[in-house]
Chain A
Amino acid sequence: QKEVEQNSGPLSVPEGAIASLNCTYSDRGSQSFFWYRQYSGKSPELIMSIYSNGDKEDGRFTAQLNKASQYVSLLIRDSQPSDSATYLCAVNTGNQFYFGTGTSLTVIP
């Protein structure tokens, strides 16, 4: 079983819609959770972090964490074509991060 699982997609949403990205993790002791955005050929860029159960909002992005279900999600409201990228879920377990394989998102104008 992989440490972090994501649907690889591709996920396509129309411009202005809500994009919903999901992630599950295997280690119940994980404390910190992150979402990274990665454009093709570029390195990952941190967009959200969440440590406590519940929702955390930052602009158009909302991260949701449910530790009991070992589930993390990212909602992108009012999706823009510039949001088209691969979104990586990362989980901090011990001293290193485990990354999912990423979900490819395409926002259609």
Chain B
Amino acid sequence: DTGVSQNPRHKITKRGQNVTFRCDPISEHNRLYWYRQTLGQGPEFLTYFQNEAQLEKSRLLSDRFSAERPKGSFSTLEIQRTEQGDSAMYLCASSLADRTQGYGYTFGSGTRLTVV
């Protein structure tokens, strides 16, 4: 297994355009998370899936953002009508779920979005 894979690595888009990012988690991990990180800040939680079910969404996630994990494997994050404030690194992470304590995440390399 090569770890968590994210594509593309970089995306430059014009304001108002739609963008879609893909994440392929570690195959045996049943949880998948999306985070957003801006310069000088820690990662901010956006949403997470357990298998194909989207179990939690942050209030940060406006209705322009949507995420899917249709077969419980890879996930996509779509941003519609991008704004300059959406410029950030979008990080995907995966982990195993555990009832008693959490496992650390394994992060992908991220997708850096620049909205011009």
Residues on A facing B (Cβ under 8 Å):
4, 8, 31-32, 34, 42-46, 49, 51, 88, 90, 92, 95-102
Contacts and interface: CB of A to CB of B under 8 A. Distances in A.
Interface residues of B, number: 24
Interface in B69-116: 89, 91, 100-110
B42 A46 contact: no
Contact of B102 (A44, A92, A100): A92
A97 B107 CA distance: 13
B3 to A, nearest CB: 10
Contacts of A32: 101-102
Contact of A46 (B45, B56, B106): B106
B21 interface: no
Interface in B28-81: 33, 35, 40-45, 48, 55-56
5 contacts: A31-B100, A46-B106, A95-B48, A97-B33, A97-B105
Contacts, number: 56
Contacts of A45: 107
A97 B56 CA distance: 12
A99 B89 CA distance: 15
Contacts of B109: 42-43
Residue from B42, B44, B91 with most neighbouring chain A CB atoms (10 Å): B42
Contacts of A51: 101
